[in-house]
């Protein structure tokens, strides 16, 4: 597994982007104490999601938002619940939080 960061680097309802050893860019967010990771690719036009660094959430920090056309995605499932790619999913990255406080991906 690849260690991406420590849990304290991703506070509740914030998001952070990371480059992986596989050459992809992912982002991690925390909601209600759980961590979620996705590839930084919008299913609409395959673009990166964020406009400003580490800004993947909407104004209320309730959903993941694509900055290009404003699609909203569920933090928990990655499903687009509003916008041009309604019903499509962000590509989830399976993660594990280990006892050392690190967030790891496959
Ligand atoms: S590119 Fe993301 S909503 Fe259009």
The enclosing domain of 39 has a CATH number of: 2.102.10.10
Dump pLDDT digits (tens) for 34-82. Answer: 999 999 999 999 999 999 999 999 999 999 999 999 999 999 999 999 9
Closest CA to 61 of 32, 90, 40: 32
Helices (H), 23-82: none
- pTM here is 0.97
pLDDT band at 20 (very low <50, low <70, confident <90, very high): very high
Q: Whose CA is nearest to atom 4 of ligand 1?
A: 69
CA-CA distance, 4 to 17, in Å (whole number)? 10
SS3 assignment, position 90: coil
Domain that holds residue 58: 2-105
Domain count, the chain: 1
Q: Give, using CA atoms, the residue closest to atom 3 of ligand 1.
A: 69
DSSP 8: G
């Amino acid at each position: 597994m690849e260690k991406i960061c420590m849990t304290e680097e991703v506070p509740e309802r914030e998001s952070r982007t990371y480059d992986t050893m596989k050459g992809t860019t992912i982002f991690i967010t925390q909601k209600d104490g759980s961590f979620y990771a996705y590839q930084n690719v919008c299913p609409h036009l395959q673009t990166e999601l964020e406009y400003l660094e580490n800004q993947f959430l909407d104004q209320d920090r309730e959903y993941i938002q694509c900055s290009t056309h404003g699609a909203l995605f569920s933090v928990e499932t990655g499903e687009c619940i509003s916008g041009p790619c309604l019903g499509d999913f962000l590509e989830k990255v399976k993660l594990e939080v280990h006892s050392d406080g690190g967030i790891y991906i496959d």
